[in-house]
């Protein structure tokens, strides 16, 4: 499979051709639709709802795609469970439950195959749907030859599942410092961590921002290492995925896109690697071979058919929701610029390699991030979050002390004390977002 181009300016009557990835969505929001001319969208299921929404706009301001309702009169939740799905999504998804009477029936297998094909058409990769992203990480690492005695390099500011996947393979996690601005693994800090035992580098698209996997790939190729990408927060961000041997996505309901519970998917370009991942993910390999025991290792990590059916029904909303998140991020950046100018906040760049899974700023000294959080909640009833509160090497367990004794990562330690994530989800209303901005301004007063 080849990697599909994302933006082809000039091929469409409006000058905008939208594949559906963040680069093409970024171009769309930059240029809007001059003179009411429509962009051309690639004929993919991920674009179905976006196409309808753009038709209904008839060339008007893209921010009309955002929720126009009133602000919440109570607490503005960081991730409100009852608002994560736009109103138009749940019922088609629930209808899919009737299509999978048994989790291991031919109908269920067909639902999984369909989802893998649809995601593969969008990403330009072979896809293996798994029961969780954590399981997908273990499968990808194992299929690439990571095992006991090996070392795998990774950032310290990722979800614990990244580290646990390495440990589950019998390998040892080795921490690398992160860039203090984009919060991703710093390629300049990799070389000093490589030893003769190093087998792979595990990059992470933290907060939905693409890691610099192109630079990481150069270091990896010099030393004969594999590159795996934790892309759980960045479905639709293509730049980092294309340089990795394998990328692992999350289909958790709290991500940009998901099923109705947990799930994951592995994306690989190499067909042989895809076959190894598939063999590892499903010990039965289909009803016709389940008793043959032809594969040296297998698990029951394939995505459940019901989850696949729900995810497939939700897939047409993916690029519309990603565009909504991008537009909300743009509004945050414009509204918070005065605080950045006054030295209160460090804002993320507005760029085409971000999926805006969450929107994270840094509270600059002498202001205290924890004090600002407290003021936001107590004074203005606005919830925020910190991803993640404790860095891997600072976890207070004997296991972590033994693994990471003496580890110092000054760049990420400094940034971690400052980061603050603001509410951002598909159903966030403009009025609620304005209330968050006003609360943040008041917190610094």
**In b/e form, how buried is each residue of 351-369, taking b as 16+ CB within 10 angstroms?**
ebbbbbbbbbbbbeeeeeb
Please choose, from the candidates 23, 15, 59, 61, the residue with its C-alpha nearest in 3D space to the C-alpha of residue 40: 15
* Domain assignment present for 129: yes
* Domain assignment present for 179: yes
Question: Which band of pLDDT confidence, cut at 50, 70 and 90, is reported for residue 260?
Answer: confident
Strands 40-41 and 17-18 turn out to be: parallel
* Domain assignment present for 49: no
Same domain, 310 and 329: no
DSSP 209: B
Instruction: Identify the domain boundary among 261, 289, 315.
Output: 315
**CATH number of the domain to which 422 belongs:** 3.90.1150.10
Same domain, 265 and 148: yes
How far, CA to CA in Å, does 422 sit from each of 154, 287, 369, 376? 26, 47, 12, 10
- The per-residue pLDDT for range 130-158, each reduced to its tens digit, is 999 999 999 999 999 999 999 999 999 99
Residue range(s) defining the domain that contains residue 398: 318-443
Please choose, from the candidates 300, 312, 361, the residue with its C-alpha nearest in 3D space to the C-alpha of residue 333: 361
In 3-state terms the chain splits into helix, strand, coil percentages (rounded to 5) of 45, 15, 40
Give the ranges where 266-304 is alpha helix by DSSP (H). 271-281
Same domain, 99 and 225: yes
- Report percent pLDDT > 70 for the chain: 86
Same domain, 260 and 396: no
* Domain assignment present for 17: no
* Domain assignment present for 22: no
Q: How high is the pLDDT of residue 10?
A: 37
The tally of domains found in the chain comes to 2
- The per-residue pLDDT for range 266-300, each reduced to its tens digit, is 999 999 999 999 999 876 554 444 555 555 556 67
Q: What is the pTM of this model?
A: 0.91
- The per-residue pLDDT for range 81-91, each reduced to its tens digit, is 777 666 666 55
| 11 has a pLDDT exceeding 60 | no
* Domain assignment present for 52: no
What whole-number distance in Å separates Cα of residue 443 and Cα of residue 445? 6
What whole-number distance in Å separates Cα of residue 33 and Cα of residue 40? 11
- The per-residue pLDDT for range 392-440, each reduced to its tens digit, is 999 999 999 999 999 999 999 999 999 999 999 988 999 999 999 999 9
- The per-residue pLDDT for range 370-385, each reduced to its tens digit, is 999 999 999 999 999 9
Q: How high is the pLDDT of residue 287?
A: 43
Same domain, 170 and 296: yes
Same domain, 421 and 352: yes
Instruction: Identify the domain boundary among 272, 295, 315.
Output: 315
* Domain assignment present for 14: no
Question: Which band of pLDDT confidence, cut at 50, 70 and 90, is reported for residue 8?
Answer: very low
Strands 226-230 and 198-204 turn out to be: parallel
Sheet holding 151-155, edge to edge: 126-130, 264-268, 246-250, 226-230, 198-204, 151-155, 172-176
* Domain assignment present for 286: yes
Q: What's the burial of 385, exposed, middle or buried (CB within 10 Å: 0-12/13-18/19+)? A: middle
């Amino acid at each position: 499979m080849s990697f599909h181009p994302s933006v082809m300016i000039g091929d469409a009557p409006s000058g905008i051709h939208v594949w559906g990835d963040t680069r093409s969505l970024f171009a769309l929001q930059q240029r809007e639709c001059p003179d009411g001319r429509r962009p051309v969208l690639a004929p993919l299921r991920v674009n179905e709802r976006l196409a309808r929404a753009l038709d209904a706009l008839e060339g008007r301001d893209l921010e009309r795609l955002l929720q126009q309702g009133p602000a919440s009169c109570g607490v503005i939740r960081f991730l409100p469970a009852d608002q994560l799905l736009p109103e138009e999504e749940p019922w088609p998804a629930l209808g899919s439950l009737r299509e999978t009477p048994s989790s291991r029936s031919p109908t269920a297998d067909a639902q999984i195959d369909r989802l893998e094909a649809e995601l593969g058409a969008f990403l330009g990769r072979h896809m293996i749907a798994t029961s969780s992203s954590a399981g997908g990480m273990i499968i990808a690492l194992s299929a690439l030859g990571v095992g006991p005695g090996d070392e795998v390099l990774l950032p310290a500011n990722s979800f614990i599942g990244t580290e646990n996947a390495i440990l589950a393979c019998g390998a040892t996690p080795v921490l690398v410092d992160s860039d203090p601005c984009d919060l991703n693994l710093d390629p300049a800090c990799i070389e000093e961590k490589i030893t003769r035992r190093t087998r792979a580098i595990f990059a992470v698209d933290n907060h939905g921002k693409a890691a610099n996997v192109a630079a990481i790939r150069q270091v990896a190729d010099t030393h004969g290492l594999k590159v795996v990408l934790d892309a759980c927060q960045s479905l639709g961000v293509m730049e980092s995925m294309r340089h990795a041997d394998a990328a692992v996505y999350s289909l958790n309901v709290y991500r940009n896109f998901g099923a109705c519970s947990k799930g994951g998917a592995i994306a690989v370009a190499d067909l042989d690697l895809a076959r190894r991942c598939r063999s590892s993910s499903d010990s039965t390999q289909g009803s016709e071979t389940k008793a043959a025991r032809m594969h040296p290792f297998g698990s029951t990590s394939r995505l459940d058919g019901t989850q696949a059916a729900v995810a497939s029904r939700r897939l047409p909303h993916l690029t519309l929701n990603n565009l909504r998140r991008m537009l909300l991020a743009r509004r945050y950046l414009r509204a918070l610029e005065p605080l950045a100018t006054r030295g209160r906040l460090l804002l993320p760049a507005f760029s085409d390699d971000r999926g805006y899974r969450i929107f994270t700023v840094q509270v600059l000294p002498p202001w205290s991030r924890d004090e600002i959080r407290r003021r936001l909640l107590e004074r203005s009833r606005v919830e925020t979050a910190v991803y993640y509160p404790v860095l891997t090497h600072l976890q207070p367990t004997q296991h972590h002390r033994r693994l990471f004794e003496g580890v110092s990562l000054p760049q990420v330690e400094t940034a971690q004390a400052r980061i603050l994530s603001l509410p951002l989800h598909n159903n966030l209303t403009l009025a609620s977002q304005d209330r968050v901005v006003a609360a943040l301004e008041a917190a610094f007063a």
